[in-house]
Structure 1
Amino acid sequence: MKRSPLTLASASVLTAALAAGLVACSAPAPSATAPIETAQLLSAFAQGTGGAVVSDTQQSTRAGIDVLKSGGNAADAAVAVAAMLGVTDPFVAGLGGGGYLVYYDAKTGQVSTIDGRETARAADTSSLFLDPGSGKPLSTEQANVGGIAVGVPGQLALWQRAIERWGKQDLGSALKPAIAVADQGFPVTTALQNQIADSQKTFGTFRNTADTYLPGGKPLAAGQLLKNPDLARTYQTIADQGTDAFYKGEIGQAVVDAVTKPPVAEGKSASIGNMTMADLASYQALDADPIRSSYRGLDVYGMGSSSSGGVTVGEALKILEQFPLKDESKAVATMRFLEASKLAFADRNAYVGDRASVKVPDDVLLSEGFAKSRACLIDPAKALPAPQPAGSLTATDCSVPVASGVETAEGQQTNHFVVSDAEGNVASYTNTINFYGGSGILVPGRGFLLNNELTDFDFAASAPGADDPNLPAPGKRPRSSMSPTIVLQAGKPYLALGSPGGSTIITTVLQVLMNRIDLGMSLQDAVAAPRASQRNGATTLIEPAFEKLPEADQAKAAGYKFVVAPTPDQNPASVTPPTIGVVAALEFSPPGAGAAAEITAVGETERRGGTSAQVVTAGG
């Protein structure tokens, strides 16, 4: 067997590390240069001052906290967290993918965004995912595995741009914690083991991916020490040479080679992409205007297209604002939430695409008049049929049906994290490589997986000749549902949140906001509550616990049909427990207090194995 670029040690290494004092359950968290962890140290709740981080892994949360303690701000810490997630959450995000950042700058009081979404390559056209022989769309497996769906990665460009705009430290400093952990290793968690098992077929397609994550043909075992010297070397090269090493240099050439000549295992085959060094050299992370909507006197900021998250969450909130949810029963409020989601998704599918290529009617979709024309269609005793027929953006009353369109099956395997600092800056950042392990291609000698984000484009128009805003085109960014969100009250941060989950991201963020703002739940309870996701479909995705709630009975009586996660685009034999989303959230209290506010940091206690929340100074 070819030697893996990652190295493993048995669980005895972890035992030795414990004996050596690298892990101490009762002691303060060690520095980022001592990466061995135990699951018992994970905490999904923290409260205090001076800054906070909530992310998927303890190593990434601690990396962010250490940067804050060393004098860095929220931008510096966000990059450190993202880089560490590329090491410890490698099947979800990393250098081979992209993401979106929403950032509150305490000095200016402004919310800004950076679009680091992957782009189509110069050779890609609207027929990218059509079989050249039959003219029919490729199957999901044909499109997802291999080079055809690898978009030009935007992650690193986003990191550099964030530090240029707001950071106090340099990119090399932000990469140091991740370099240390990649070099020294960390124990495989049960969540990572499950993700490998879920992706076993894809990973087995490629030589080095299989050698690395399926030694002996089996997924890595929980507790094994996983080292990634190739990624440590890649990060160090970037720290020494800057981002040109990726977009114009040796790392980029390795990416191009992997896309155009995938390292398939013997007897396997995979699609080939057309990426060139010119595609990489032309990539730019975009300073983009945020989507701003109002809700119950609060200002809600999210990503504009190429993400559909900001406008779809905003439209659904505007619809919900037409109802006195605080005065209604939870069952009625839940029906309003499901129907508002359905209506907003109908419009999203029909009108939202990359705004560099499509004129997206954000102002109309977020207007009061348009919200009223949608809200009056909602009857909490009777579910609207789905999908709805095409409608008009000039609707002013209930006589005009809502719009509709194709919803692409987006990968649910993403991550989201939130960061704040002592100055009052706040970062809400979602990043991804799409499905677990992305395209399945581990870049030889470089230690990171490549995305398959181009499958977020529609494979074909909804009907011959139909005007589809989300078809592939050269340099175009596929529509996303990522919804990093920051909520201000009186111009100061009140909430920051987001989630992974493909198109369920939008409904997850919306449900948490409704739970906290309208239903009066604590942030912990709002995040922990069972979730449902209605996206203008004939069925509604739910977590198992949701169906046991009293409000589910009313929804069923109104005509709703529930389907328990995982969704059809996931592995039917998945060993990962069925859940919707993995929320990371911060709340600042009292609202509007600015940098002096106490921070409540909340992650997940169970979803995706639990997540990690920490504050700089505990207890206020």
Structure 2
Amino acid sequence: MRLSSIARHASCRVALGLLLALASTTAGLAQQLAPAPEAATGRITKIAGTAQRFMVAAANPLAADAGREILRAGGSAADAAVAIQLVLNLVEPQSSGIGGGAFLLHWDEAVKRLTTLDGRETAPGAAKPDRFLGPDGKPMRFVDAVVGGRSVGVPGTLKLLEESHRRWGKLPWAQVIEPAIRLAEQGFTISPRLHGQLSGERNLAKDPRAAAYFYEADGRAKSIGTLLRNPAFAATLRSIAQKGTEAFYSGDIAQDIVATVTGHPTNPGDITLADLAAYKIEEREPVCGAYRVWRICGMGPPSSGAIAVQQILGILETRDLTRLGPGAEAAHWFSEAGRLAFADRNLYVADPAFISVPTAGLIDGAYIHSRAGLVSPERSMRRAKAGEPPNRRAQLLAPSAGVENGTSHISIVDTSGNAIAMTTTVESEFGAKLMTAGGFLLNNELTDFSFVPEEDGKPVANRVEPGKRPRSSMAPTLVFDAFGRLYAVVGSPGGSQIIGFVARTLISLLDWKMDPQAAADFGNFGSRNGPTELEKGTEAEAWKGALESKGHEVRLIEMTSGIQAIVKTPEGYVGGADGRREGVAIGD
């Protein structure tokens, strides 16, 4: 469906009555091609939302409602982001929360300025490169590394929210926190998706606090529709509302975080009060590049998202995708572009405070076009090698695929035209499976580092080091038209698949002229420099034979994206929220 037709709808209508059912290590490629970070729980049929003055798109209706409440009260995009994230902590705890980290893009419409803020978690000061090696010197099993305190990084989400509110907020800090406090105290009902995630999770119930909150006495997940109240989280938020993030990064809450991490009975971590007190938000240079008549902007390292998306789009720019349309030929080029982008990502991208990342070289137009020349129209390369971008330093590095997992995304445009694209995470489903006394879960973000610190005597760029931020694939994205005007706000969860999800959504919007809902819902496909992956049960599945005839090794898999997209139109805004999750795009 095209934008011109969908924009005529008067309001957002979302079919949420559908009951969802749960669809039933080593470093390197096996880690990279880990299963979807959150289990598939079916789909909800939706149509695009429309609005004239402002719009929010978030992964849960209660979170989107909180954002709309704040915008209706005169709040800014930054104000709404606080409210949405804190409610997501309650209603979508498997994906994000104040125990995790996030990346945020902010567009200031009045001064035409894009700012990107890094709220990624950091490794504790005691962390060492061999953190995830067993006594035999081999990488730990992923699940053994995740569950417990060993995998927990210093959280950054809350400080990111405070910093963005300090810069761009309009309403009082306490006011934007109030919707989450109210919901925590009054309670909310367990949604079908949350129930499905809880039912499929095997380690969360081993944590006594999480077990008491999410599960019945017999170990079964609390049923759909059960009212959950979280007075502990309400108390945490009240303290933060009164004292700011100082209440989280020091004092009783900080002491409890440290005790929870270091006191795990079988897999303790080593976060200290000093680690929490030292955490800082980093402002990064945006990563921007041209795609046809558009300008695409995203987050720089330690996220690899924007670089890889730029590389994929730059390679695809050599093709007439509008003429090709969705199909096996486009999927061939998209997958080959993904292979080349992931080869570079795996070698070159890590925390720029520790590694000289050749960002400008990796997104250089001439370099990307030279990489496009490696793609054969007739035959898959199956496995790409990293290139030699300009401006790189002579560094002896070994590649690392890494394991990256779950997440949520928030897209917002306020009444002044300011926008936020924020991708936020606790890493795996329910993070480290540790709940604090303050009513929130802790991340397992440190497993985004390479488990193997060196290969063939060469250090891995994304190795564990004290104070380092693990590489990410999160790709919050803003799109600008040829006149520099904001056109779209896009992002998705999905671990390392985020890169493909976002790039595929962008070509769906820009080349195939889909409305945001159709673009979010379209079948996913691509490659992370391994097999070509096609999403089961979607349009993409039909392309298997044609791709195999070009030499692709094809895998049909679940691909649980959670795309939230907003597009500006002459009439206002059109939004889409991925039908694979429970979100909505709403506004006034």
Please confirm whether the aligned pair reaches a TM-score higher than 0.5, indicating the same fold: yes
Question: Match of 1:261?
Answer: 263
Q: Counterpart of 1:588 in 2: which secondary structure? A: strand
* CA contact 2:349–2:471 (8 Å) conserved in 1: yes
Contact 1:57–1:89 at 8 Å: present in 2 too?
yes
Contact 1:44–1:604 (Cα < 8 Å) also in 2:
no
Output aligned runs, 1:205-216, within 5 Å: 205-216=206-217
Verify: 1:139 aligned to 2:136, yes or no: no
Partner secondary structure for residue 102 of structure 1: strand
Q: What residue is the counterpart of 1:8 in the other structure?
A: none
Which of the numbers 125, 130, 133 marks the counterpart of 2:133? 130
Q: How does 1:207-356 map to 2 (within 5 A)?
A: 207-216=208-217, 217-262=219-264, 269-328=265-324, 330=326, 331-356=328-353
Residues 373 and 461 of structure 1, relative CA distance in 2, 3 Å threshold: farther
Deviations 1:405-462 (A, max 9, x none): 3211211x21101011110001111101011110000002x10000000000001146
Q: Sort the Cα spacing of 1:539 and 1:408 in 2 relative to 1 into closer, same or farther, 3 A.
A: same
Cα contact 1:42–1:58 (8 A) shared by 2: no
Alignment partner of 1:482 is 2:474: yes
Deviations 1:585-617 (A, max 9, x none): 000014xxxxxx510011123x03x3111112x
1:215 corresponds to which letter in structure 2? E
Alignment check: 8 A CA contact 1:64 1:80 kept: yes
* 1:410 counterpart residue number: 404
Residue of structure 2 equivalent to 1:358: 355
Kept in 1: contact 2:340–2:386 (CA 8 A) = no
* Inter-partner Cα distance in structure 1 for 2:466 and 2:527: 32
Matched, 1:456 2:439: no
The CA deviation string for residues 558-611 of structure 1, in whole angstroms up to 9 with x for no partner, is: 12222233xxxxxxxxxxxx3331100000014xxxxxx510011123x03x31
1:53 aligns with 2:50: no
**Per the alignment, in what secondary structure is the counterpart of residue 587 of structure 1?**
strand
Contact 1:499-1:505 at 8 Å conserved across structures: yes
* Paired letter, 1:512: T
Q: Which residue of 2 aligns with 1:559?
A: 551
Structure 1 residues 612 and 328, CA gap change in structure 2 (3 angstroms): closer
Q: Per-residue displacement from partner, 1:479-499 (whole Å, max 9, x unpaired)?
A: 000000000111111011100
Counterpart residue identity of residue 373, structure 1: S
CA contact (8 A) 2:58 2:583 kept: yes
Residue 57 of structure 1: CA displacement?
Answer: 1.0
- Mean Cα displacement is larger for which, 416-425 or 203-212? 203-212
CA distance 1:347–1:504, change in 2 (3 Å): same
Aligned twin of 1:368: 365
CA distance in 2, matches of 1:462, 1:277: 30
Specify the SS of the correspondent of 1:215: coil
Cα distance in 1 between the residues matched to 2:536 and 2:450: 27
Q: Deviations over 1:304-351 (max 9, x none)?
A: 011111111111111111222223354322211111111111100010
Identical counterparts, % of pairs: 35
1:249, distance to aligned residue in structure 2 (A):
1.5
Residue in 1 that maps onto 2:530: 537
The CA deviation at 1:467 is: 3.3
User: Structure 2: which amino acid aligns with 1:382?
Assistant: R
Measured at CA, do residues 38 and 547 of structure 1 come closer, stay the same or move farther in structure 2, by a change above 3 Å?
closer
Between the aligned partners of 1:558 and 1:533, the Cα distance in structure 2 is: 14
Contact residue 518 and residue 576 of structure 2 kept, 8 A: no
CA distance in 2, matches of 1:136, 1:257: 29
Name the aligned partner's letter for residue 224 of structure 2. Answer: A
Supply the RMSD in Å over aligned alpha carbons: 2.1
Q: Which runs of 4+ in 1 moved over 4 A?
A: 37-44
Q: Determine if contact 1:389/1:404 at 8 Å carries over to the other structure.
A: no
Look up the equivalent residue of 1:147 and give its one-letter code: G
3-state secondary structure, aligned to 1:527? helix
- Three-state SS of the structure 2 residue aligned to 1:204 is helix
Normalization by structure 2: what TM-score? 0.89
Describe the shift of the 1:393–1:248 C-alpha distance in structure 2 as closer, same or farther (beyond 3 A). same
Measured after TM superposition, the shift of residue 394 of structure 1 is 5.0
Cα distance change, pair 174–375 in 1 and its aligned pair in 2 (3 A): same
Q: Distance in 2 between matches of 1:290 and 1:464?
A: 34
Counterpart CA distance in 1 for 2:365 and 2:386 is 21
Query: How far, CA to CA, are the matches of 2:224 and 2:95 in structure 1?
Result: 17
CA distance in 1 between partners of 2:539 and 2:403 (Å): 23
Mapped partners of 2:124, 2:150: distance in 1:
10
Distance 1:329 1:424, change over 3 A: closer
Question: What is the TM-score with the length of structure 1 in the denominator?
Answer: 0.84
Q: Which residue identity does 2:303 align to in structure 1?
A: S
Q: What does residue 420 of structure 1 align with?
A: 413
Report if the CA contact (8 A) 2:399-2:461 is conserved.
no
Cross-structure match for 1:6: none
Question: Could you tell me how far apart the structure 2 residues matched to 1:100 and 1:473 are?
Answer: 21
Deviation at residue 210 of structure 1 after TM alignment: 1.6
- Per the TM alignment, residue 389 of structure 1 is displaced from its structure 2 partner at its CA by 4.0
User: Partner of 1:428: helix, strand, or coil?
Assistant: strand
Contact 2:46-2:517 at 8 Å conserved across structures = no
Question: How many residues are paired up?
Answer: 543
1:159-193 Cα offsets, whole Å, 9 max, x none, are 10000111112321111000000110011011000
Q: Is the 8 A contact 2:531 2:555 kept in 1?
A: no
- The farther-off stretch of 115-124 and 458-467 is 458-467
The separation in 2 between residues aligned to 1:226 and 1:42, in whole angstroms, is 26
Aligned to 2:567: 587
